Amino acid sequence: MALAHRGIVMSKHRWLSDDQVQKLNERHGWFKHGDAQSDVSRAFANDAIEAHERMRATAPELLAELEMLSNVVEGCGMTTMPEVECRLIFARAAIAKATGEA
């Protein structure tokens, strides 16, 4: 959930300190104007971190569903359709990558 701070939508979590935000700005130069240095940078970085954490938390469930869907598609004999077979190959490759088998 995001909170409004000085008109800027920010995360309720504070993932980065002021020093970390400054180091990111110096290294990557995300924002060039002094008035956008801290609040906007922090909001941007925190939103990116939250998106990553949501994906990370959901990954096991997504993997399980992809494995189940791949098994159902194979079991139904749908692999005779070229497009389905192609997508199944990509799905199996993604599963192997996610499980460290690739």
**Which domain does 50 fall in, by range?**
2-99
Q: How far is it, in rounded angstroms, from Cα 25 to Cα 33?
A: 11
Pair of tokens at residue 20: 């970390």
pTM: 0.56
For the chain, the domain total comes to 1
Main-chain dihedrals φ then ψ at residue 81, nearest 5 degrees: -85, 125
pLDDT score, position 28: 66
**Each residue of 2-13: b (16+ CB within 10 Å) or e?**
eeeeeeeebbee
- Residuewise pLDDT in 10s, the chain (102 residues): 344 444 444 455 566 677 777 777 777 666 554 445 566 667 777 777 888 888 889 999 999 999 999 999 989 888 888 889 999 999 999 999 999 997
